[in-house]
Amino acid sequence: MNAINQAISNIGVVPVIKLNHPQRDAAPLAQALCAGGVPVAEVTFRAAGAAEAIAIMTKTCPDMLVGAGTVLSTAQVDEALAAGAKFIVTPGLDVDIVKYCQAKGVAVFPGCTTPTDYHAAYKLGLEVLKFFPAEQSGGLAKIKAMSAPFPMFKVMPTGGISLKNLKEYLSASVICACGGSYMVTADLIDNQKWDEITELCKQSVDIVKQVRGNG
Ligand code: 3PG
């Protein structure tokens, strides 16, 4: 596994963030995540100001792995990288975006859920895939079934993951890390519930440790 993949795998969970007020919320959010032992974030381009949020989070917590999510074009890849993004996540597998990131030496995690997606990802030489939307696409049962013909991949499921099913997902060896918005919901962010976010991160880290035998 390359360094970024390994670092994400070691943390075990990836908060998927949509920030409507980056100027107000990006810095305290980065601090809240790091305080909870989760120094990683996928900041989605679903909200205007995602690049600004990435820049603020990176400046606030320089050791944090801040990446960009919901990236739909190579122009957005450029925007994210200029802001300091260390990895790129796309909802589906876009060959042009993957090749663009690979040419730049940037880690990219395309959303894949079908054998056709996995085939294309194999051809592209990827190691870790986003499995999105996880629960809605068949959940862990489907992820395990996909591992039979494609044992070379680790996956990062997102979509429908919470503290309720995190342990089950992480227990499967095919899982690199789990993504989700459950620790950074719109309610938590809009109401600036930073302590609660830190607490949810700590609970997630406890589950990671339990499953991986360090707790
Ligand atoms: C994503 O973009 O990865 C998902 O929307 C996150 O899904 P969740 O909100 O169900 O965690």
Nearest CA owner, ligand 1 atom 9: 181
Average pLDDT over residues 196-203: 98
Percent of the chain with pLDDT over 90: 97
Q: What is the pTM of this model?
A: 0.96
Nearest CA owner, ligand 1 atom 7: 159
Question: Contact 131/113 with Cβ under 8 angstroms?
Answer: yes
Q: What is the per-residue DSSP string for 73-113?
A: SHHHHHHHHHHT-SEEEESS--HHHHHHHHHHT-EEEEB--
pLDDT value at residue 214: 62
CA of 184 to the centre of ligand 1 (A): 10
State yes or no: is 167 an active-site residue: no
H/E segment holding residue 147: helix 139-147
Tell me what the pLDDT averaged over the chain comes to.
97
Task: Place 17 in a pLDDT band, splitting at 50, 70 and 90.
Answer: very high
Relative to the CA of 158, which ligand 1 atom is closest? 3
Q: Express each pLDDT in 54-95 by its tens digit.
A: 999 999 999 999 999 999 999 999 999 999 999 999 999 999
Relative to the CA of 69, which ligand 1 atom is closest? 2
Task: Place 1 in a pLDDT band, splitting at 50, 70 and 90.
Answer: confident
Buried b (16+ CB within 10 A) or exposed e, 56-91: bbbebbeebbbbbbbbeebebbebbbebbbbbbbbb
Q: Express each pLDDT in 18-36 by its tens digit.
A: 999 999 999 999 999 999 9
What is the rounded CA–CA span in Å between residue 136 and residue 139?
Answer: 7
pLDDT value at residue 35: 98
DSSP code, position 39: -
Smallest Cα–Cα separation from 56: which of 89, 73, 38, 33?
A: 33
Q: Express each pLDDT in 117-172 by its tens digit.
A: 999 999 999 999 999 999 999 999 999 999 999 999 999 999 999 999 999 999 99
Q: Express each pLDDT in 170-184 by its tens digit.
A: 999 999 999 999 999
Q: Which one of 71, 130, 136, 158 would you pick to mutate in the ligand 1 pocket, going by the greatest count of ligand atoms within 8 A of its CB?
A: 158
pLDDT value at residue 213: 77
Give the residues surrounding ligand 1 with Cβ less than 6 Å away: 16, 69, 132, 158-161, 179-182
Given the residues 18, 42, 86, 154, select the one marked as catalytic: 42
Question: Contact 121/102 with Cβ under 8 angstroms?
Answer: no
Relative to the CA of 160, which ligand 1 atom is closest? 10
> Does the structure show a pLDDT above 70 at 215?
no
Identity (one letter) of the amino acid at 8?
A: I
Question: Contact 159/132 with Cβ under 8 angstroms?
Answer: yes
Beta strands in 11-167, from DSSP E residues, in sequence order: 13-17, 40-44, 65-69, 87-90, 107-110, 128-131, 154-157
Task: Provide the 10 A C-beta neighbour count for residue 7.
Answer: 17
CA of 191 to the centre of ligand 1 (A): 20
Identity (one letter) of the amino acid at 12?
A: G
Token pair for residue 196? Answer: 């609660």
